[in-house]
Amino acid sequence: MAPADLPRDIGGFIRDMRRNAKISLRQLAEQAGVSNPYLSQIERGLRKPSAEVLQQLAGALRVSTPAMYLRAGLLEGDAPGVLEAIAGDPDLTMAQKQSLTQIYDTFRRENAREAAAAAAEAADATAEAAAAAAEVADATAEAAAKTDGDAAAQAPPVKKAPTTTTPTTEETS
């Protein structure tokens, strides 16, 4: 699919979704919060919608936002292969494509939440281990200081040797 075809493709996709949902252009525009002429231009491929407008249209059409972004050529990352396969499969109905995309998105969101929770748990464990190591280091330093202090207190005082003066040659003569 050539980049120049993307706006027309997304427009056709939106038009097909709207017709499949059996709603008028005016109804979809109202539900998505965009003007009727603007939506008409999008469907005819004259205007390229922003990511925000695509998200609003996806919500109004009950389609996943990533599927809408994929059709518009905005989605890049590790998921396009699956979404592209779903969107491009001619044997699936539009409702089946929507269902599969929503299920896929649900699994990805759940996996992302679980990964975030595991990362937070690992960070907490690391912080706890660092705090425990700091406590051990403090206790070791205190024990060493106390041992040095006790050793100094128990050591007998050092006696200074008496100083003697050596007579000079003048004193001896």
Going residue by residue through the chain, which has 173 residues, state the pLDDT in tens, using 9 for 90 and above: 444 444 447 898 899 889 988 999 999 999 999 999 999 999 998 998 988 899 899 999 988 787 788 778 776 655 567 777 787 778 888 788 878 887 887 887 788 788 888 888 888 888 888 888 888 888 888 887 777 666 555 656 656 666 666 666 665 55
**Nearest alpha-carbon partner for 97 in 72, 74, 68:** 68
CATH code of 3-102, in short, is 1.10.260.40
Query: First vs last Cα of the chain: how many Å apart?
Result: 120
How much is the pTM?
0.44
| Domain boundaries along the sequence of the chain | 3-102
Residue 122 CA to residue 128 CA, distance in Å, equals 10
